Structure formats: structure tokens, C-alpha cells
Chain A
Amino acid sequence: MPTDLSQAADARTFRPSPHAKRGGLRAGQGRFGVMLLLPALIAFSLIVLSPFVQALGLSLYKYTISTPEPIFVGLANFKKLLADPTVRGSFVTTAVYVFFTTFFSITLGLAWAIILNEPFKGRNALRGISLLPWIMPATVSAFIFGWIFNSRYGVLNAVAMEFGFIEHPQAWLSTTSGAMTAIVMVKVWLSIPLFMSFFLAGLASMDREQIEAARVDGAGNYNVLKDHILPHLRPVILVVVVLGMIGNLQQFDSIYALTGGGPVRATSVLSVEVYRRAFEQWDIGMAATIGVLWVATILPPAYFYLRQLMKGAE
């Protein structure tokens, strides 16, 4: 009941429409936002959330080809896996793989971006060509590298024998270090264009006059890189490191196509281990358990990445 005459007049003049929703304009905006999000939320729930929740559930069950219905075993799968030295080995292999692929992808991507940021004839063509490895399917790249390293017909052996470095063809992919080097090389080869693009975008916003001034003051290439380029690219580097780590933790296709996780278990990263458990040993419960642990390793960098994004948005 209005106590003031002016309030009473306002209420009469601006009476809300009978079609107006409760909560006013702000709530209407909120509902509109939810509606816009809804398709993405539905797709996310169906494609990502639902399989993940199912996998989470399956990790608590014994579910092999000989058990038509899953049998609840609680945390037994986790207990068994954590006591299994081969699975612990897969975590180490994954860490080694992620470290080297992320490090070399970023270092070489940055170096290539700095080169392509310099003005020279044919730069645009070279930038375009540089994207080719990124466009190429990962398995195709893996097979190309497979042929380079092939013990009988490989280019590497042919060149090494031609120059007299080796007497007999070497089975490069049959040594622990050789196989790891090969899968890292493939991933680095695939990742350089993407990281290069990130760095090029970062370099585009850099004030060239600042670098020229530094050079006038006598700064060499190293000092320009250390004191000007790297500080300027710091936010980009942060995002690229996190994205690189997440991508490398998820990598499967190029590794499986090139080495199948071998020799022995030298390149059996977590993704390969999940595949082996599910489709070579027919043990869905164990595969789901490794998958859950695998997701747990991806969560910290993913959280960090999202936090950076939110900060940027604010």
C-alpha cells in the first residue's frame, strides 16, 4: 500500500505489463542467458559429462568380457592399480612424454614465431606452409615418422649407412630412448604450428620501437629476447604451457600408430594403457579406473588454465 502520493502516482503510471515475468529485467536477462547456454549444456552433458560419470561409476566395478553384468567391487580396482608397478611406470612414462613434448613444442614454436615475425620476402608463404603439420592428421604424421625410423627401409638408416655412421640397419624404435624420442618428435612436429600461431599473435601486439630502442642502446639478440620479448609474451606462454600439457596428457593416436606403446612398455602412456586394458585385455572396469586417474592428472593444469581465463575475463 503506497504511503506517498508520488509513489501512488508512479504505480498507476508504470504498472507492469501482465506479460512481465517475475524478477524483472535482470531475471529475464538471466533466463535468456541460460537459454543461450542450454544447447551447449545439453551437448556437454550428453557427450562429455554423461560418459565421464559412467566411467567414474564403472571404475568401481569388475567389468570384463566374462562378466555380462558389472560386479560392484568398491575401490578394489584403484587399490590393485596403485599396487601395480606397470601402471606406476605408465605415470612416469606419461610425465616424461608430457615434459619433453611441452618443452620442445614451446621452445621451437617460439623460435619459429620470432623468425616468422621478422620482415622478409616470402614470409607469408612460409607462414602458410608452416601450418601444414597441424592440418595433417596425427596418424598420417605418425606413419611418416614410422617410415623415417623403419629398421629396414627407413630414411634415417639409409642416410646413416651412406655416411658410414652405422654398419647395419638399426631398429631405432626398438630401444626405450629411440621410441620415446620418436613419439616426442611426432607430437612436437604436430604442435609447433599451433604454438607458433599463439606466439605470433602475441608478437603482433609488441611495440617494435621498443626493441629498436633497445638495440640502439646496444642490446644483443639474447638480451632483446630475455628483457623484452619473453616478458611481453609471459601471459601467452602461461596459457600455451597449460594447453600444451593438457593436449600432451591426452595424446593417443600418434603414439599408438607409431609404437603401439612399445617396445615392451617404453611408450605406454596412460591413454595407451586405457586402450590396452579395454580392447586387448577386455577389462572395462580397470580401463575406467585408469581413465579416472588419468583425468585426475589433467585436472590441475585444466583448473589453472580456467583460472587464467577467468582472470582475463575480469
Chain B
Amino acid sequence: MRHFFKKAAGVVTAAALTAGAASADTVEFMNWLGAEETGKDTLAQMVASFDGEVDIQPYAWGDLPKNLFLRARSKTLPDVSQIQGRMLPTFASIGEMVDLNEVIGKEKLQEIFPASFLAMGDIDGKQLALPWIGGTIGWVANMEVLEAAGVAEIPTTVDEFKAALIAVRDNVPNSVPYALATKNNNSILLDYLIWSWTFGSDVIVDGKPMVNGPEGKATLAFLTELVQERMAAPEIDRPDSRRLFAQGASAFYLDAPVARTFARKFSGRDMEIDPAVKPIQGPVLNAGDTPQSIQWGHVIAIFGEENATPDSDAVKFVMHLLSDDVLVDYASNQGVLPTTKNGLASDAINGDAYLKDWAAASVAPRRNTIASLENGGEVAGIIGEEVQSAILGQKTPDQAADDMQARLEAAMAN
């Protein structure tokens, strides 16, 4: 028996040492790219071309933040992680992120990235992440659906937009003319922000909620009308919107530039659907108003003091992901903008009409002001619930706006 315990202890010790040795040489890369059908192969290629060992740790898009949170609490953070740009202020408070200004140098980073993209990873003067891919959350139209509905012109005002939706509803059977997000609070938030800005409501002003003014109430009344009049539908989340759009059952929805990649995948038509996928400027309340869109992007963060040197494998791996060839291949494959100056100037990106249209449609993208709040999750939950209660007819739009204001005031006062 004693021999057995001795042997067992030996095996456990050896296993621990082996694992320790392996983890010292391997870069742990937490990401959602590897969990998506549209990105799995691309990521595998990017990793294969890196001169080093990488442990790809894929999580579903919605699961990655909570796993990162749990790993921070259990002090088992990975070396590198992909993070949604809007979530960076939240995760910055973990306190384990490497300041890349210190490691790579501020001047060098400014040489590589345009200031607008570099700002995505800047938290209080520290470069806690590097931008990977970027763009905006903006409008995309399905030209085939609009043609089938007899809509010849892209709508530019809210009235024209509504007229186009009615045409689609009446002429395209079983359609959801506008795949408005009506399920999942985080998805609802994006549509709500865009429409609030369109109607002139800023949602948060000087850190205080402003959602029950006339503009805020008009926003909720408009969204409610869309659902009640079957121009939009309940039970729609962003993944549903993408499928409806790709399958010719929806004319408009809000998404990042990856919209084209999803359309190719979910339509089963690959690049054949490209001419139908058109980035457009958002409808405005009055002609001359600024079309609304939201800043969007993915960033890469490095964790742990042991990785805070320029020659660490983690830093080398991140710079490999951001190198010209690798980044441009990835960005053009996903139909998104690369974040480096060289990448943006490349032929592959400049020659892509879709990306050019997307950039042209994004006139003045605004920050997602909710995501950067300390209790952004709670605030997004309140907004999502009150929007749902209005569009599902549980409350009048005015009552929902007043309740949203009261709940937000209470949440933001804490």
C-alpha cells in the first residue's frame, strides 16, 4: 500500500511538472473566433503560421465574457484573449492586463495603428488592449428583398423607412421586414441606442439617464408601432436576424461588417449573395440629420506580468496576429476592416466595394455609452426589459419610458 501511495505521488508530481513545463512554452489564446463556423479555419491558419505553440481555447461569443470573469476570479487567466471592444472598460478592472504602451512603446503603436482604432484599447491613458478588427454597428439592406417588395430607392428618412417596411410586409410573404432585436437585452440595447439617437435622445447625459423626455418616448412609441404593425417581430435575437436576412425574409437589420460573412454562410449561396448585401446609412428623422451608427471592434488583450516583455511569446503571438499578411487575410475573409495603417492601405481592403460602402455609410459612429458604465450589464438589462415591456404591449411606451428612467436613476445612483 505504501508503495502504491509513493508511486501515485510520483505520478502526480511528474504530471504537475509536465503541465507546468507545457504551459510555460504555450500561449493560451482565449477567443470566440475558433468557436464560430465562419472563423474556425481562419484562426487555425493564423495559428499554424506562428512560430510557437498556441493553445486555442474557443468559447461561444456569449460565453467568453463570463468565462473570462470566472478565470479572473480563480486566477487562471489566459495569456491572450479576444475581447469585444465595448466590454474592455468592464474587463479592465480585472487589473491583470498588460499596459502595452510600456511593453511595445507608445510611439511604435502610433506608427502601426490609426489613432481612432488605437483609442479602442486605451483605458485611462493605458493601452490595455490592441485593436484587431474594427468598423461600426450599422445598417445593412437586402436588395433582393427590397426589389421583391417593389422598393426602388434606399430609404433615407424614418418615414421612407417605414414605407419601405410596409411594402416588404405586404409583398414578401412570411417576412420580418426589419429584424429588430426584441430578445436578449444586450442585442436590444444596440437597436434601442441607434433609434434613440435617431430620435434625438442621448440616453445618458453627464452620467445621468435621460430616457423619458419626448424624444425617448417617441423612440419607444416608434419601436412599439413597428412590432404591433408587424414591421418587426418578437422573439428575434441577432443570430435570428442574420438568418432571416440571409434567407430573404428580412430587408433590414443592424450588424457589424461581418454581416456579409453571415449572409454568405446562412444563405448557402456563398459569394453569390454579395450583390444583395448593401451597407446603408441609417434613416434619419429629418433630412440633413446625421445617420447613426455605433463604434464596434474586437481587441486583443495580454494578461499577466510574465507576459509583460517585448520578447514574451504572448506579445510575439499578438504581433503575429496583427502582422500585415495575417491581419489582411483575416479581415478580408471576415468582411471587416483591419485596424492597422498598413492593413487599411492594402489592395485587398481597398478593392473591396462592400467595405468601402460600409466605411462610407458610417458617417459619425458613436461610443456605446452604456457598455463603459461600471454597472453596464445591469443598465442594459433594465433598458432591454423596459423596451420589451413596451413592444410586447405590457406597458404603454410612455409608462415604459418613465419606468426605465426611474429604474436607471436608482441603478446609477448606487
A residues at B contact (CB < 8 Å)? 64-66, 68, 150-152, 168, 171, 173-176, 260, 262-265, 276, 278-284
List the A residue with the shortest CB-CB distance to B70: A279
- Residue pairs across A and B with Cβ atoms less than 8 A apart, 6 shown, are A65-B91, A65-B93, A171-B235, A260-B184, A262-B183, A282-B69
Which 5 pairs show the lowest CB-CB distances between chains A and B? A174-B234, A171-B234, A281-B377, A279-B66, A66-B93
Min CB distance A2 to B, Å, is 42
Stretch at the interface among B40-48, B148-156, B385-393: B385-393
Contact call B93/A68, Cβ cutoff below 8 A: yes
Asked if A65 and B185 make an inter-chain contact with CB atoms under 8 angstroms apart, the answer reads no
Report chain A residues within 8 Å CB of B375: 64, 281, 283
Kindly report which residue of chain B lies nearest to residue A171, judged by CB atoms: B234
The interface residues of chain B lying within 8 Å CB-to-CB of A263 are 183, 234, 388, 392, 394
Q: A263-B388, A265-B385 are in contact. Are A171 and B233 (CB under 8 A)?
A: yes
Closest residue on chain A to residue B185 by CB atoms: A280
A43 to chain B, nearest CB (A): 19
Other than A150-B235, A263-B388, A280-B377, give 12 A-B pairs with Cβ distance below 8 A: A65-B69, A66-B374, A68-B93, A68-B95, A151-B235, A176-B394, A260-B184, A262-B388, A263-B392, A264-B385, A264-B392, A278-B66
Instruction: Indicate if the CB atoms of A68 and B94 lie closer than 8 Å.
Output: yes
Q: Is B114 interfacial (CB-CB < 8 Å)? A: no
Rounded to whole angstroms, the CA-CA distance of A276 and B91 in the bound complex is 17
**Which A residues are CB-close (under 8 A) to B392?**
174-175, 263-264
Q: A262-B388, A264-B389 are in contact. Are A280 and B381 (CB under 8 A)?
A: yes
Give the shortest distance, in Å, between A265 (CB) and chain B (any CB). Answer: 6
User: Which B residues from 47 to 78 make CB contacts under 8 A with A?
Assistant: 65-66, 69, 73
Minimum CB–CB distance for B125 against chain A, Å: 18
Q: Is B90 close to A, CB under 8 A?
A: yes
> What residue in chain A is nearest B382 (Cβ atoms)?
A86
B235 touches which one: A64, A68, A173, A279 (CB < 8 A)? A173
Which residues of the partner chain B approach A150 to less than 8 Å between Cβ atoms? 235
- The answer to whether A264 touches B93 (Cβ under 8 A) is no
Chain B residues, Cβ within 8 Å of A176:
394
Instruction: Please name all residues of chain A whose beta carbon is closer than 8 Å to the beta carbon of B320 when the two chains form the complex.
Output: none
Contacts of B176 in A (CB 8 A): 152
Task: Write out the residue numbers on chain A whose beta carbons fall within 8 Å of the beta carbon of B374.
Answer: 64, 66
Q: Does B116 contact A (CB under 8 A)?
A: no
Given A151-B234, A176-B394, A264-B392: A283 in contact with B184 (beta carbons within 8 A): no
Contact (A282, B230) CB under 8 Å given A150-B235, A260-B183, A265-B385: no
B378 at interface by CB-CB < 8 Å: yes
- Cβ–Cβ < 8 Å partners of B91 in chain A: 65
Interface contact B69-A281, CB-CB below 8 Å: no
Which residues B194-214 have CB closer than 8 A to chain A?
Answer: none
A282 touches B90 (CB 8 A): yes
Point out which of A151, A174, A284 has the most chain B C-beta atoms below 10 A from its C-beta. A174
Once A150-B235, A171-B234, A174-B234 are accepted as A-B contacts, the answer to whether A264 and B66 lie under 8 Å apart by CB is: no
Give A276 to B234 CA distance when docked, in angstroms.
21
Most buried by A among B95, B183, B235, B392: B235
Inter-chain contact B235/A264, CB cutoff 8 Å: no
Q: Could you mark each residue 294-307 of chain B with 1 if its beta carbon is under 8 Å from any beta carbon of chain A, else 0?
A: 00000000000000
Enumerate chain A residues within 8 angstroms of B65, measured Cβ to Cβ: 279
Also in contact, A174 and B93, with CB within 8 A (given A66-B374, A265-B385, A280-B185): no
Q: Are A264 and B377 in contact (CB under 8 A)?
A: no
- Rounded to whole Å, the gap between the CB of B175 and the closest CB of chain A is 10
| Neighbouring B residues of A168 by C-beta, 8 Å | 230
Contact with A along B169-204 (1 / 0, CB 8 A): 000001010000011110000000000000000000
Binary contact track B87-108/A, C-beta < 8 Å → 1, others 0:
0001101110000000000000
Residues of B within 8 A of A284 (CB): 73
Closest residue of chain A to B182 (Cβ to Cβ) is A174
Smallest distance from the beta carbon of A55 to chain B beta carbons, Å? 13
Contacts of A66 in B (CB 8 A): 90, 93, 374
Closest A residue to B375 by CB, please name it.
Answer: A281
CB pair B378–A281 under 8 Å, yes or no, is yes
A128 to chain B, nearest CB (A): 35
Write the chain A residue with the least CB distance to B66. Answer: A279
B94, B380, B392: which has the most chain A beta carbons within 10 Å? B392
B379: nearest chain-A partner, CB-CB: A281
Q: Which residue of B lies closest to A286 (CB)?
A: B378
Whether A152 lies near B174 (C-beta < 8 A) is yes
Residue in chain B with minimal CB distance to A170: B234
Determine how close the nearest CB of chain A comes to the CB of B170; give it in whole angstroms.
Answer: 13
Complex: chain A residue closest to B243, CB-CB: A152
A152 to B236, CA, bound (A): 10
Residue from A151, A260, A265, A278 in contact with B233 in the complex, judged by beta carbons closer than 8 Å: A151
Contact B233 A283 (CB under 8 A): no
A263 to B400, CA, bound (A): 14
Tell me the complex Cα distance, A176–B174, Å.
24
Docked pose: A282 CA to B392 CA in angstroms: 27
Interface residues of B in 380-414 (CB under 8 A from A): 380-381, 385, 388-389, 392, 394
* Contact in complex: A283, B90 (CB < 8 Å): no
For B96, the closest partner residue in chain A by CB is A68
In the assembled complex, how far is the CB of residue B380 from the closest CB belonging to chain A, in whole angstroms?
Answer: 8
**Complex Cα distance A275/B69, Å?**
13
Residues of chain B within 8 A (CB-CB) of A175 are: 392
8 A Cβ contacts from B216-254 to A: 230, 233-235
Shortest Cβ distance from residue B400 to the other chain A in the assembled complex, whole angstroms? 10
Kindly name the residue among A150, A168, A171, A176 whose own CB sees the greatest number of chain B CB atoms within 10 A. A171
Asked if residues B235 and A281 are in contact (CB atoms below 8 Å), the reply is no
Give chain B nearest CB distance to A87 CB in angstroms: 13
Q: Which of A278, A279, A284 has the most CB of B within 10 A?
A: A279
Complex CA gap A262/B181 in Å reads: 14
- When chains A and B are docked, how far (Å) is the Cα of A280 from the Cα of B389? 19
